[in-house]
Chains A and B, each alone.
Chain A
Amino acid sequence: MAYTDFSFKKVLPLSLFMIVLSAAIVTTFAWKADAFGSTPFFRAVRLFAEETAVYGIFAIRHYDHQLAAAAASVGGPDTAAASVPTASLAQAIPVLTYHRLGVFGSDNQNVSLQNFMDQMETLSANGWHTITLEQYEAFMKGKIALPAKSFLLTFDDGAQQSVYPVDPILKTLGFTAVEYIIVAASEEQGSTYYLSQAQIAHMLASGRWEIGSHSYDGHREYPTGPNGETGVFFADKLWLPDQDRLETSDEFAQRVTRDLTEAKQDLESTYGVTVNTFAFPFGGESGINAAGNFPQGESTSEQIASQIYDIGWLQTARKDFTYNYPAYAGFLQYRIHVDHDWDGQRLLAELENGLPKVLPYTDSMQENRGWMDSWGTVQAGGVLALSATSSQTSASSILDGSRLWKDYEFDATVSWHTGYAFLLADATNARTYRDCTFADGVVEIQDTTNASITTLKKRFDSSIKSGDDIPLGIRVSGDTISCLYDGNVVLTYEGLASRQGGIGVQAWNPQPGTAGLTVTHVAVSAL
């Protein structure tokens, strides 16, 4: 190599460049190993790019919103504040469930990034803020007070796409969230879908995330028969192919206990955190959706889980009261599953409708303030219209946010032409309530507990008629319940145990598909 110059002035700068370059490369891979673990490199690059892009996009968007809000506040007082009066301290907490974000649009299962940004921005701009799981638990135990408009944000499954596009938004808004981890999936090496252990540790270190258990390995299909039948890990007896039989009830209980215990221990020892909560895989509004070879499966799992964890989440809310109330929460607690097509205003409405309402309450039904479609077809907006579906004999709607009311008179202007119109009071859920029932020539007082109806009192009165715009009322006060027709008390029953409970309306007619009523005005006043 005769035509070269290896002098000091050539070698030194290159050596320095090489040293810096090598250091940069080594640092890059060390950082990747630390923050992403076994996640494939290019997946990590993509997630990092997504995270960075979302951070930039959302920061600009948030800044824009703040400018717009500042400009609007100069113009005068906020006119939107004329909504339903609610308490200034939280009395109950809503919990949101997401799975992962569709970064490039919604996929009918998951909320799109666009919608999620809109949702969080809207909630934040309207005074909503997240709380930590620790705060939630303390609040539910009555240990701390929280401001109204507090909510808990949760993500199920531990997917990468539930953290990288989300975290920058949390960071900008000062929000926190809880991730429910499927332990076996997080231990899988090189996954492009699930968070690796390193990613989970990294996200916990940010201080914006907490974790909970989503089972050790109960989030996939398991065989329940010899011919490819499948069932649910926490509800069905599983097939034991070696012994050519289904497992016994004891084996079921042992299996569930082992999974739930291992999940908790594994998460706690790996990440050095306390894991007190469990999100049921496939946990729908009525409990776990079972394939059904073991009727006691669900309750057995619930019972076992309640001995290992403090809270067992279902992934959707009930169709009565969507929030979790400290005084009434059991082991199973509910979450609002955010639909893929909800924008920010829609989610805000869902949350604000559930805020505990303060008496007196009037509702001209111009917009839906929380009339839930407990069953049947319920349409709200303009009027509240209930109709039974073609196979059903009744339709029912509970007013969300009325759970804590006690001793009140509920008046409604009701139109119905066939069957029975019910006004519900003291409702603790959609299946447990007291009611006044009106039909042509008859009024009844009933006490319904878990859908089991007891008629307390009944009176025939030819002046009671169905028709248009009939003023009906129900009054619950102390141990007395009274029914009002056209402003007059038409029936009274004494001897009830007084309790907190909300209101609702219901239509019933023995012939399927015919029950229905509409409500145009509601007024509830404390007694």
Chain B
Amino acid sequence: MPNRTRRKPWPYLLADAWPWFLFAAAVYAILVLKTATISSISNEWFFGFYSLLVTSYILSRFLLSYFHVAPEADPTYEPSISFVVPAKNEEDNIAETVRRFAQVDYPPEKIEVITIDDGSDDGTYQAMLDVAEEIRPKVGRVEVVHWEVNRGKRDGMAEGVKRAHNDIIIFIDSDSFIEPTAVRHLVKYFSNPRVGAVSGHTDVYNRDTNLLTQMQAIRYYIAFRVYKAAESVFGLVTCCPGCCSAYRRAYLVPIIDEWLNQQFLGGKCTFGDDRSLTNFTIRQYDAVYSAEAKAYTVVPDSFLKYVRQQQRWKKSWIRETFIAASFMWKKNPLAAVSFYMYIFLAFASPIVFMRAMFWYPIATGIIPVVYLAGLFLMLFMHGLYYRLTVGRRSWLLAIADFWIVTVLLMWQLPWAMVTLRDSRWGTR
């Protein structure tokens, strides 16, 4: 039976095609909806403008990410690498995280591992020592740093940069794991001297725990594959996350002390270290996204933990966005417009939501069907994109959850604004 199994029977093709069809239908419905409401802009310019902007922003992200592509890999380019892992109270995960460094597909002699125990109260230090001994024969160099008193993640990362000897520094969070192939995919971008930082693609490790983690899996996937990829088109990824990112050491050394001592609103910055470091980098160099460099991270599995994490991220987003806003206008015009557009949308969305869901229905007695349909279609489109790129996986319920979370978390931004100087939640 030559090649009988290669070709799928048509019912299966059809079964595979339906998410594509639905995705196209969702895009169609969104565009029809927006075209139909375009005439109302004249009497409600603010909300009409918002509506047009949010649609063009989101659709343009999909479009840009579609054209995003990895550079041709140069097989002769093989710089030395340093893994830097700052950790506090991670005795359960740290060994597995570090052990994977010895299993990566890369010449062992070019690998350096630096772990920093940031004043842990548990057996993290001992676990670090044990795993260091375990992997020592398999890598070029291992170093374990021990601090009696906790100094914070930023100090740990800076310490790693200062102690590292190799060309490329790869930060891995203590609750994240990388795939063996990830290193080569991170490193290949640095053959271009403009590249200062590369973000890997991080998926959710504990995806199947509950609906919240399923929902976060979609958010992570889309945030990387669509939004980060769209930023990467211009070499302007605004956050190379701590869970798996690589930096060129030569570019970090001159800025590391300034970054370590970064002040904002009269206080030392103690969270959002990854976004901040990327922000320092993209002033002069490119930061890009590598979809092939795969890593996994553990996400909050309870709503309260999730809200706290999001609150921390929102605060650092505000801080770093204000900083980035001071130089983004000098960059690629399309990238700059997208950047400022997103700032406007983030702050306008709670206002638009209030008006559509409360003020307008109360004033007119009309249920905001069009607004809700628009919101639903957008989320539906994201869910379908996830479904059609990752394959058969639960997504519909997670999208419904996404809706609730979007509505709830919309209020975090103004709240983060108000409590920006309160860094109590900033501790890891």
Contacts and interface: CB of A to CB of B under 8 A. Distances in A.
B35 interface: yes
A6 B67 contact: yes
B32 interface: yes
Interface stretch (B155-163, B230-238, B416-424): B230-238
A5 B70 CA distance: 9
Interface stretch (A20-28, A156-164, A343-351, A487-495): A20-28
Interface stretch (B23-31, B44-52, B338-346): B23-31
B267 interface: no
Interface in B363-386: 369-370
Nearest to A18: B63
Contact of B31 (A6, A10, A21): A21
Contact of A42 (B36, B68, B70, B286): B36
B24 A21 contact: yes
Interface string B321-352: 00000000000101000000000000000000
Contacts of B232: 3
A3 B35 contact: no
Given A3-B235, A21-B24, A25-B28, A41 B36 contact: yes
A1 to B, nearest CB: 5
B192 A25 contact: no
B144 interface: no
Contacts of B31: 21, 25
A103 to B, nearest CB: 15
A293 B74 CA distance: 98
Interface string B59-92: 0000100111111000000000000000000000
A4 B64 CA distance: 8
A3 B71 contact: yes
Interface residues of B, number: 26
Interface in B1-46: 24, 27-28, 31-32, 35-36
A2 B288 CA distance: 10
B283 interface: no
Interface in A9-25: 10, 14, 17, 20-21, 24-25
A1 B233 contact: yes
B194 interface: yes
Contacts of A3: 68-71, 232-235, 288
Q: Which secondary structure dominates chain A's binding surface?
A: helix
Contact of A2 (B24, B194, B370): B194
A63 interface: no
A187 B369 CA distance: 28
A2 B68 CA distance: 9
A41 B288 CA distance: 43
A29 interface: yes
A5 B31 CA distance: 26
Contacts of A17: 24
Nearest to A40: B36
Contacts of A10: 66-67
A14 B67 CA distance: 10
Given A2-B235, A3-B288, A10-B66, A42 B28 contact: no
A17 to B, nearest CB: 7
Contacts of A14: 63, 66
Interface in A321-354: none
Contact of B28 (A1, A5, A21, A41): A21
Interface string A24-50: 110011000000000001100000000
Nearest to A24: B28
13 contacts: A1-B233, A1-B234, A3-B68, A3-B232, A3-B233, A4-B69, A4-B233, A6-B67, A10-B67, A24-B28, A25-B28, A25-B35, A29-B35
Interface of B: 24, 27-28, 31-32, 35-36, 63, 66-71, 192, 194, 232-235, 286, 288, 332, 334, 369-370
Interface of A: 1-6, 10, 14, 17, 20-21, 24-25, 28-29, 41-42
Q: Which 7 A-B pairs have CB atoms at the shortest separation, nearest pair first?
A: A5-B69, A41-B36, A4-B67, A1-B233, A4-B233, A24-B28, A3-B232
